[in-house]
Amino acid sequence: MEKNNKVLISLGIGLAVGTVLGILFAPNKGVDTRKKIKDTGTKLSDDLTKSVTKIKESVQGFKNNVKEKVDGVVGSVNDYI
């Protein structure tokens, strides 16, 4: 799970840097470039928020799964005793 998070973060950073560099070296007016940077930043922020939400849901699902298994084991132990 931790490896996946590092990969997602690295991918996001690489995408952001590449996009900004691509926009800065593009032959556009300053106004157009600033608008593209703003729009790209907003999109990246939205994408990052969605990714974080997915990760949180995945962790919550894992936590619930572990809790159910632990509760089952505790119940079995209590029945045995």
Domain parsing of the chain, residue ranges: 2-80
pLDDT mean over 26-38: 80
61 has a pLDDT exceeding 60: yes
Q: Identify how many contiguous H helices and E strands the chain contains and give both numbers.
A: 2, 0
pLDDT category at 1 given cuts 50, 70, 90 is low
The answer to whether the CB of 58 falls within 8 A of the CB of 2 is no
Query: What are the distances in angstroms from CA 13 to CA 27, 37, 40?
Result: 24, 15, 13
Per-residue pLDDT, 21 = 81
